[in-house]
Amino acid sequence: MVTNVLIVSTCSDPLSNLEFVKPLSALLERHGHVVKEIHYRDVNSQNLARADKILISGTSLKDFEYLKDIDRFEWILSTRVPILGICAGCHVLGVAMKETLEETLLIGKYLVKKTNAVKTARLPLRSSAFEAYFLTSRFVKHPKHFDTSATVNDMPVIIEHRTLPLVGCLFHPEVLNPDLIMTFIEQ
């Protein structure tokens, strides 16, 4: 089934868009889905109404403009469209839900381990452990509104909101785990 996917860019620099947004679009289009890319400052009710699924992209390691603009993401609280936040997108979901971000530094491949904490399984994980590519300097610490479905050294790296259809993924699944994105889109 063709899905209309809205990709919300968190990139303040257009050059980062090529690195963090275009690969997501290309992946989804290869699987026959319809993609609309939009910068977070331009999201409106029409875009949201047309979307079946929403991805919030990552951005460059030095880019934190999206955190200064967190008010622009208020729509996350009201939309019922399932959202997958990737890296910066995961930060956005956490901060929008009043969680705390803690500094860390993960660059490169790390072993991700599945937990048994999640019952809803909005992003079912087929493997109990797998490698993933990280590029982040923040993570959501001790989330109060999310369950942790995967960790790296006890740090939450996949979080699922307990009541809303929100999934945060701290790593970049488009690099080594594209099947995770397709599971989220097609389930």
Partner 1 sequence: MKLAVLFSGGKDSTLALFKASKVHEIGCLVSLCSQNEESYMFHVPNIHLTELQARAMELPLITVKTSGIKEEELKDLKAALLLAKKEHDIQGVVTGAVRSVYQAQRIQKICHQLDLWCFNPLWLLDQMKLLQEVLKYQFTVIISGVFSYPLDQSFLGRVIDEQIVKILGDFQSQYGVNPAGEGGELETTVLDAPMFKRKIVITDSVTKYAHHAGVYMIKSAELVEKW
* Selection from 121, 27, 43 nearest residue 35 by Cα: 27
Task: Please work out the total of residues on this chain that contact partner 1, with binding judged by CB under 8 A.
Answer: 23
Residues 20-59 that bind partner 1 (CB under 8 A): 22-23, 26
Q: DSSP character for 62?
A: T
Does 175 participate in binding partner 1 (rule CB under 8 A)?
yes
Contact between 40 and 9 (Cβ < 8 Å): yes
Residue span 72-111 as binding mask against partner 1, x where in contact by CB under 8 A, dash where not: ---------------------------------x-xxx--
Residue span 8-27 as binding mask against partner 1, x where in contact by CB under 8 A, dash where not: -----xxxx-xx--xx--x-
**E-state strands within 46-163:** 53-56, 83-86, 100-114, 129-141, 146-152, 155-161
Q: Which is nearer to partner 1, 105 or 129 (CB)?
A: 105
Tokens of 58: 């990552």
Which residues of the chain form contacts with partner 1 (CB under 8 A)?
A: 13-16, 18-19, 22-23, 26, 60-63, 105, 107-109, 133, 135, 137, 174-176
